[in-house]
Structure 1
Amino acid sequence: MTVRQISPHVHVETAHLGSNNSIITGKHGLALVDTPHRPTDAIAWRKTADQLGDTRFVVNTDHHPDHTIGNYWMGGEVVSHRGTRERLLHDAPDHDYLAKLFARIDPAAVALLDEYRVRVPTVVFNDQLDLHLGDVHLELTFQPGHTANSLIAYLPEDGVVFTGDIVCEAGLPSFQDCRVADWFDAIDKVAGYDFEFLVPGHGEVAGRDVLDRYREWGRDVVGQVAEAIRRGEDSDQASAEIRFVDNIHVDTDDYVGYPDDLIEMFQRRSIARIHADLLERPDLSSR
């Protein structure tokens, strides 16, 4: 592991396959933001957290597997937006999907599947919730963007904002669970926070400059879809032709990434989602 302490109370791991994982330390225990995708990473991450204190809260920034699978191995209560709990209750990956995925990204975890259970949040909120750890507190705010149930976590004492996949320094994530208007609005919402450090959903810890870069990446792919619509292309045509660079699900020097068919599915569904939104609101192409 390559855990980095970025502020007096925050430790971050950015080298895991899947979401970044953070630990906030307070006098009255720990809060974790998102959990590792690979079960073997999650088991090791639990040991790292236990060395720093007792985990009181585990915050999920959305319902996607790369943010939530590791919940099972963590201590504390799982906290999320209400919509994340509902998605995990009714739409979590099934055993067969996980068996196929783990066989590729974490072969040692296949043996753990019989014991694994989806661990859903037991503390949920609609709009805002504060988690207090004694000398610091984490402000959770519902902010649809990457998904309809995404949230932003903010540690004002240290000037650290945790965006989940609302902002990714590594590149664009999937658009399949978003609405384009919400996607851009969420970036603007993050820009309104007073922060020194931005912990993204994927990629390295960044500063304010990452927001403009991320927004431009989004504008580029939305612009490509808008141009396809102007040419008269339907959703299937645009989805077959337009691609954006995926630095999130692919192989890295350290880990094997998702199988090609899943990455292709994410791309097609993302372009189809953008296409549908632009048909409804053509003005979004100028965001």
Structure 2
Amino acid sequence: MALQQVSEHVHVEIANLGSNNSIIVGARGLALVDTPHRPTDAIAWRQVADGFGQTRYVVNTDHHPDHTIGNYWMGGEVVSHRGTRERLTVDAPTDQYLADLMARIDPDALPLMAQYQVRRPEVVFDSKLELHLDDVHLELTFQPGHTSNSLIAYLPQDGVVFTGDIVCEAGLPSFQDSRLWNWFDAIDAVAAYDFQVLIPGHGEVADRAVLEQYRSQGREVVGDVAAAIKAGHSQEQACDEIRFPDNIHVDTEDYVGYPDDLIEMFQRRSISRIYEDLLERPDLASR
């Protein structure tokens, strides 16, 4: 692991496959933001967190497996938007999906999966929630963007904002659970915060400059889809022709990434989502 301290109270791990994982250290315990994707990383992360104190809260910024699988091995109460609990109740990854995925990304964890159960949030909210650790508090705000149940977490004492996959320094994530208007609105919502440090869903710890970089990446793929629609290409054609760089799910020097068929599925579903949203709202092509 490559744990880095980014402010007085915040420590972040960005080196694992899956979401960035953060520890907020308060006088009355810890709040964690998102949990590791690979079970072996989650077990190691629990040991790291325990070294700072007792975990009181685990915040999930959305329901996707790379943010929530590690819940099972963490202490404290899991907290999320109500929609995240609902998605993990009705649409959690199947046992077969997880077995096949772990066989590739974390084969040492296969024996652990026999006991694994989806751990759904125990505390949910609809609009806003504050979590207090005595000397610091974490403000959670519902903000649909990357998913319909995404949230932004904000630590005002340190000027740190945790965006989940609403903003990713590493590049664009899947659009499959997004609506395009929410995607752009969520970036604007992050920009309204008073922060010095931005913890993205994936990639390096960043500052305010990452917002325009990320917005530009989104505009580029949206522009490609808009051009395909203007040229009379069908949705299926657009899904065949258009791709954007995936720097999140692919192999790196540090870990094995997702299989090619899953990455291809994410791409096709993303282009399909953008295509359908542009048919509904053509003005988004110039957002």
Normalised-by-shorter TM-score class = over 0.9
Query: Which digits, 9 at most, give the CA deviation of each residue in 1:80-100, with x for residues without a partner?
Result: 000000000110101100000
Report what 2:2 is aligned to: 2
Q: Which amino acid aligns with 2:123?
A: V
Report what 2:116 is aligned to: 116
1:1-287 maps to which residues of 2 (within 5 A)? Answer: 1-287=1-287
RMSD: 0.3
Instruction: Quote the Cα distance in structure 2 between the aligned partners of 1:81 and 1:105.
Output: 28
Identity %: 75
Q: Which amino acid aligns with 1:169?
A: E
Query: Which digits, 9 at most, give the CA deviation of each residue in 1:158-204, with x for residues without a partner?
Result: 00000000000000000000000000000000000000000000000
TM-score (norm 2): 1.00
Instruction: Quote the Cα distance in structure 1 between the aligned partners of 2:179 and 2:259.
Output: 26
Query: Which digits, 9 at most, give the CA deviation of each residue in 1:200-257, with x for residues without a partner?
Result: 0000000000000000000000000000000111111101110000000000100000
Query: Which digits, 9 at most, give the CA deviation of each residue in 1:14-58, with x for residues without a partner?
Result: 001000000000000000000000000000000000000000000
Instruction: Quote the Cα distance in structure 1 between the aligned partners of 2:111 and 2:234.
Output: 44
Unaligned runs of 5+ in 2: none
Instruction: Quote the Cα distance in structure 2 between the aligned partners of 1:234 and 1:136.
Output: 52
Instruction: Quote the Cα distance in structure 1 between the aligned partners of 2:107 and 2:166.
Output: 30
How many pairs align? 287
Instruction: Quote the Cα distance in structure 2 between the aligned partners of 1:205 and 1:251.
Output: 20
Instruction: Quote the Cα distance in structure 1 between the aligned partners of 2:114 and 2:45.
Output: 21
Query: Which digits, 9 at most, give the CA deviation of each residue in 1:246-278, with x for residues without a partner?
Result: 000000100000000000000000000000000
Instruction: Quote the Cα distance in structure 2 between the aligned partners of 1:41 and 1:256.
Output: 13
Unaligned runs of 5+ in 1: none
TM-score (norm 1): 1.00
Instruction: Quote the Cα distance in structure 2 between the aligned partners of 1:233 and 1:94.
Output: 35
Instruction: Quote the Cα distance in structure 2 between the aligned partners of 1:90 and 1:110.
Output: 24
Secondary structure of the residue aligned to 1:138 is strand
Q: Which amino acid aligns with 2:262?
A: L
The CA deviation at 1:106 is: 0.2
Instruction: Quote the Cα distance in structure 2 between the aligned partners of 1:74 and 1:170.
Output: 26
Instruction: Quote the Cα distance in structure 2 between the aligned partners of 1:62 and 1:186.
Output: 14
